[in-house]
Amino acid sequence: MSAPPIPTTVILRTEHLGRTVKDKILVQDANFELRKGEVLAITGPSGSGKTSLLRLLNRLDEPTSGTVYVEDVDYRNIEPRELRRKLGLVTQRPFLFPGTVADNLRFGPAQRGQTVPSEGIEQLLSQVGLKDYSGRDVANLSGGEAQRVSLARTLANSPLALLLDEPTSALDEAAKHEVESAIQKVVRDQGLTFVVVTHDVQQAIRLASRALVLDQGRITRAGQAGEVLSA
Amino acid sequence: MLNWFFHSQLQLGLAQALVAALTALTLVLLARGRGIHLEGETLIAMVRGLVQIIAVGSILVILLRAPRWTSGIVLAGMIMAAGATSARHAKGIPDAFRVSAWAIAFGAGSVIALMTALGVIDTAITTLIPIGSMLIANAMNTNGLALNRFRADVLAHSGEIETALALGAEARSSVSPYVQASFEASLIPAIDSLRSLGIVWIPGLMAGMMLSGARPVYAAIYQFVVLAMIFAASGLTSLVSTTLIRGRVFSPAEQLLLQPGR
């Protein structure tokens, strides 16, 4: 069986990206590319700068050195709201807004004056395995369901790439499996590009095609996930 | 009982201040028992307050004989001091002093100016400064409450705020619920004062007016007038302050600056 073709279109490129706060180096000289359709895992020990790097990609924090190019445009020249729509972030804890699942899914598009019809909501929910959940109050969801709603809510913004920050670290094994399956289904069905931050090496191998290993804010290894993470 | 031991007015006043301060310090000790440390802040505030009021009391005689235009300078100075005092409740928020000073200047200043122009507040310095200071002091308290609540809410909900930002929300709209809550909470004391007027408390101004010979009904009505002015000044201050401060917790790139542990 031949190996899957290596995606070539670069949608995101970091150039000497770094952030230092009060003399503490969070991320230092990060240089890497993200190609269309790939799943890139960022892994490393606790406090190695994984989440800090992800926040820089979404520009929730400002780099103190270097920059990021999104589709060859320096992201400092992209309006922050548009940038964040393009690079959708799913946080470790799913902060759902009070209301129904459908209300949450409509939040992102509503910021641009767009409405998502009921069929669109159902389609998004079926992608994450939550068909018929649209009318449910988010207060009554389990941790795994809430995280999948958070994923669908970010997908509703039609992003170029999804940035997932430890999406299963707060979940039990069963819920972790549900969320991983939802991610794999989106990758399979839509060919969407993902960056997944995880401290779980096995999860990184299961989900990602490529991986970066961070230590003390620096990328120490990069390459095919199986090779880099098995070493 | 104190007047059995102290016969001069100054000595009696100092003894009364000491007893009141000791009562306040009892509260500090009680709070300490619950692990809340108010010692430093309370001591500094009490000493500062006493020194300030004695200093003002000493120059009040001169001040009240000064020309009318000087009241504008005095009130402007009070607004600056009120801005600096209430801005302390917004630790970590850039520009808090400027926001506070503008909010109080607009809130209290516009009410003082309008009411003076309409003749509700007499232009005599002996009326304008005491009533103006009441409005400024209450605006300061309201502003402090609004900033304190807003800061606490933003810190407690930074995850929700950043989630909204990450979904493409406008920075200012991502903190709207907390702006609203801060505004409402800051007005609780002013609303309660109006609501309980004459039942829970009879303010000093009304008692003072009656003692100096004013008709009780007029004194009562004027007290309502003052409280309504306080409510208007406080509400306007809080409205301006919460409107201006919400943009200050974000960078130009719409990044949340006020975060726990930073």
- Residue B123 phi, psi dihedral angles, 5° rounding: -75, -10
Q: Give the B-side interface with A, CB within 8 Å.
A: 159-160, 162-170, 251, 253-256, 262
Which residues in chain A land under pLDDT 70? 1-7, 231
Nearest CA in chain A to B256: A60
B89 and B46 housed in the same domain: no
B47 and B86 housed in the same domain: no
Residue A23 within a domain: yes
Write down the pLDDT at residue B57.
78
How many structural domains comprise chain B? 2
Q: In 10 A of CB B7, how many CB atoms?
A: 8
Residue B150 within a domain: yes
Residue B127 within a domain: yes
ipTM metric: 0.90
| Cα(B61)–Cα(B52) distance, integer angstroms | 15
B106 and B14 housed in the same domain: no
- B43-82 pLDDT, tens digit per residue, is 888 888 888 888 877 777 777 777 888 889 989 999 999 9
Chain B CB within 8 Å of residue A108 CB: yes
| Cα(A118)–Cα(A106) distance, integer angstroms | 10
Write down the pLDDT at residue A153.
96
CATH of the domain at A183: 3.40.50.300
Residue A72 within a domain: yes
Single out the residue of B225, B239, B234, B193 nearest to residue B108, CA to CA.
B234
B39 and B144 housed in the same domain: no
- B177-224 pLDDT, tens digit per residue, is 999 999 999 999 988 888 887 777 666 767 777 777 778 788 888 888
B58 and B173 housed in the same domain: no
Mean pLDDT of B244-255: 94
Q: Coil, helix or strand for B201?
A: strand
Mean pLDDT of B84-112: 94
Domain boundary among B63, B85, B109: B63
Write down the pLDDT at residue B262.
67
| Cα(A214)–Cα(A217) distance, integer angstroms | 6
Residue B193 within a domain: yes
Residue B158 within a domain: yes
B153 and B192 housed in the same domain: yes
Q: Coil, helix or strand for B262?
A: coil
Are the CB atoms for A222 and A211 separated by under 8 Å?
A: yes
B162 and B229 housed in the same domain: yes
Arithmetic mean of pLDDT over chain B:
88
Residue A2 within a domain: no
Residue A95 within a domain: yes
Write down the pLDDT at residue A1.
43
* Total-model pTM: 0.83
Q: Which structure tokens are listed for A24?
A: 């503490």
Nearest CA in chain B to A76: B253
How many structural domains comprise chain A? 1
C-alpha angle B184-B144-A22 in degrees, rounded to nearest 5: 115
Do residue B168 and residue A81 have CB atoms under 8 angstroms apart? yes
DSSP string, A41-67: EEE-STTSSHHHHHHHHTTSS--SEEE
Single out the residue of A157, A147, A143 nearest to residue A91, CA to CA.
A147
B54 and B82 housed in the same domain: no
Residue A15 within a domain: yes
Range of the domain at B230: 68-248
Range of the domain at A162: 10-230
B99 and B222 housed in the same domain: yes
Residue A4 within a domain: no
Domain boundary among B40, B63, B86: B63
Residue A26 within a domain: yes
- Residue of B158, B167, B175 to mutate for A, most A C-beta atoms under 10 A: B167
Are the CB atoms for B132 and B138 separated by under 8 Å?
A: no
Write down the pLDDT at residue A7.
56
| Cα(B93)–Cα(B258) distance, integer angstroms | 7
Do residue A91 and residue B256 have CB atoms under 8 angstroms apart? no
Do residue A157 and residue B256 have CB atoms under 8 angstroms apart? no
- B2-52 pLDDT, tens digit per residue, is 778 887 887 887 888 888 888 888 888 888 888 888 888 888 888 888 888
**What is the DSSP pairing of strand A39-43 with strand A210-215?**
parallel
Write down the pLDDT at residue A147.
92
Residue B88 DSSP class: G
Domain boundary among B9, B33, B63: B63
B79 and B154 housed in the same domain: yes
B51 and B164 housed in the same domain: no
Residue A16 within a domain: yes
